[in-house]
């Protein structure tokens, strides 16, 4: 049976489904303090067994259903997605789906140098690399495994060489750790023609010890860069873009700021998130998902799965960052909004 032709669906607040973020693994070889702190994700932590992960065939099947419902952009995430064996094979499968305009991947860059060519050959279009500092000591402290900056930069260079452009570099800014590295990072990647995006330290999950005092506001980040390299704000490239874009006044590139704490972006959010074990989440800050893997393995048709996704999205009312923004103006603990939110390492950001 073929999937019903429901067209582009919208949620209860009128938002379409346009982007699908697929986590292919919950494992990572870093222990970044804001995502997978070592005291929680230690040697004895129970990651998902292989049998519970969606197969590539299951991922491609679900992606096809999402595309039929309006998705045009697919991003592969983790954990660290390049830890998933034979990932280029999945990229190739996704690239054959009619209607997919863009396939990209977010990685910590540790394995990128050796895999960039195979990913590009398989059909990957672009890449985002997480890098929180150019200072070796600071970066080692933040990734908490002593991984060197130079190896991440090698991965970025390899991606550029095989045509994975534009390259976006994501920097999570946390007060007391790396805010002094904002301007050096901007200067470095401006000179190399890559887009640097600063991310306010977010309260995703409940294991990273998030405090509002640790957030460096977007306004402060832009002011620091602009004092040396004047900036002009520019329009978003598409509806629902989460990063505010700022171009260098002399025309030599741009930076972005994801101000998820100080400037909520829920109003136009068009992202669905699929975990490695097949749970559909409709919000980065959600506390529960919807089991698509169970449906697939119970023999559901594409028609069944299409209707399941359409029902979930149609009932969606998520606007966590808006509600959090209201809460931070009152004497109310921000984390009290929902202490059981899904962890970043599982939902893929």
What is the per-residue pLDDT across 101-118, written as a single tens digit (0 to 9) for each? 999 999 999 999 999 999
- In this predicted structure, what is the pLDDT of residue 30? 96
Q: DSSP letter string over 125-145?
A: -EEEEE---SSHHHHHHHHSS
Where is pLDDT greater, at 324 or 70? 70
Tell me: the pLDDT tens digits for 156-178? Answer: 999 999 999 999 999 999 999 99
Residue identified by tokens 């209607």 is 99
- In this predicted structure, what is the pLDDT of residue 252? 95
Tell me: the pLDDT tens digits for 303-313? Answer: 999 999 999 99
Q: Is the pLDDT of residue 337 over 50?
A: no
Residue ranges of domains in the chain = 19-347
Structure tokens at 146: 């002593």
Q: Which of 275, 333, 325 is nearest to 77 (CA)?
A: 275
Where is pLDDT greater, at 238 or 81? 81
Q: What percent of the chain has pLDDT over 70?
A: 87
Regarding the domain delimited by 19-347, which CATH topology (the fold level of the hierarchy) does it fall under?
A: TIM Barrel (3.20.20)
Tell me: the pLDDT tens digits for 194-206? Answer: 999 999 887 665 5
250/228 Cα distance (integer angstroms): 12
- In this predicted structure, what is the pLDDT of residue 348? 72
Q: Is the pLDDT of residue 332 over 60?
A: no
What average pLDDT does this structure show over 278-286? 89
Q: Is the pLDDT of residue 331 over 60?
A: no
Q: What is the average pLDDT score of the chain?
A: 89
Q: Is the pLDDT of residue 241 over 70?
A: yes
- In this predicted structure, what is the pLDDT of residue 157? 98
- In this predicted structure, what is the pLDDT of residue 335? 41
Q: What percent of the chain has pLDDT over 90?
A: 75
Q: Is the pLDDT of residue 213 over 60?
A: yes
Angle at 133 between CA 129 and CA 135, to 5 degrees: 135
Would the CA dihedral through 154, 158, 163, 169 be positive or negative? Answer: negative
Tell me: the pLDDT tens digits for 118-160? Answer: 999 999 999 999 999 999 999 999 999 999 999 999 999 999 9
How many Cα atoms sit within 13 Å of 275 on the Cβ side? 28
Q: Could you count the other beta carbons within 10 Å of the beta carbon of residue 122?
A: 18
What average pLDDT does this structure show over 5-30? 90
Going by pLDDT thresholds of 50, 70 and 90, the confidence category of residue 326 is low
Q: Could you count the other beta carbons within 10 Å of the beta carbon of residue 29?
A: 16
Tell me: the pLDDT tens digits for 175-195? Answer: 999 999 999 999 999 999 999
What HEC string does 320-348 produce? Answer: HHHHHHHHCCCCCCHHHHCCCCCCHHHHC
Peptide bond before residue 166 is cis, with ω within 30 degrees of 0:
yes
Q: Is the pLDDT of residue 320 over 80?
A: no
Going by pLDDT thresholds of 50, 70 and 90, the confidence category of residue 259 is confident
Going by pLDDT thresholds of 50, 70 and 90, the confidence category of residue 324 is low
Could you tell me which residues come within 8 angstroms of residue 285 by beta carbon, excluding any fewer than 6 positions away?
Answer: 203, 204, 318, 320, 321, 324, 338, 341, 342
Structure tokens at 347: 């939902």
Going by pLDDT thresholds of 50, 70 and 90, the confidence category of residue 302 is very high
CB 200 within 8 A of CB 228: no
- In this predicted structure, what is the pLDDT of residue 261? 80
């Amino acid at each position: 049976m073929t999937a019903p032709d429901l067209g582009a669906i919208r949620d209860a607040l009128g938002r379409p489904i346009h982007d699908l973020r697929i986590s292919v693994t919950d494992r990572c070889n870093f222990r970044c303090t804001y995502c997978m702190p070592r005291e929680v994700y230690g040697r004895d932590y129970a990651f998902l067994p292989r049998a519970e992960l969606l197969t590539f065939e299951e991922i491609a099947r679900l992606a096809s259903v999402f595309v039929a419902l309006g998705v045009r952009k697919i991003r592969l995430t983790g954990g660290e997605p390049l830890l998933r064996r034979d990932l280029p094979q999945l990229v190739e499968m996704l690239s054959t789906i009619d209607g997919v305009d863009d396939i990209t991947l977010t990685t910590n860059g540790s394995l990128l140098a050796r895999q960039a060519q195979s990913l590009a050959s398989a059909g990957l279009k672009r890449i985002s690399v997480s890098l929180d500092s150019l200072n070796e000591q600071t970066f080692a402290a933040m990734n908490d495994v002593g991984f060197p900056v130079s190896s991440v930069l090698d991965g970025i260079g390899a991606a550029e060489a095989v045509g994975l452009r534009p390259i976006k570099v994501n920097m999570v800014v946390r007060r007391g750790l790396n805010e002094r590295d904002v301007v050096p990072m901007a200067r470095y990647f401006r000179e190399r023609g890559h887009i640097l995006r600063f991310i306010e330290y977010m309260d995703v999950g409940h294991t990273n010890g998030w405090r509002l005092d640790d957030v460096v506001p977007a306004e402060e980040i832009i002011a620091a860069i602009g004092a040396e390299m004047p900036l002009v704000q520019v329009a978003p490239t598409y509806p629902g873009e989460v990063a505010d874009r700022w171009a260098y006044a002399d025309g030599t590139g741009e930076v972005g700021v994801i101000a998820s704490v100080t400037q909520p972006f829920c109003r136009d959010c068009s992202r669905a998130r699929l975990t490695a074990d097949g749970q559909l989440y409709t919000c980065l800050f959600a506390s529960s998902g919807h089991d698509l893997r169970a449906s697939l393995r119970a023999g559901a048709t594409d028609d069944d799965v299409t209707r399941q996704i359409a029902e979930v999205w149609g009932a969606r009312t998520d606007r966590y960052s808006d509600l959090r923004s209201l809460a931070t103006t009152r004497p109310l603990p921000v984390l009290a909004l929902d202490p059981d939110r899904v962890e970043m390492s599982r939902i893929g950001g």
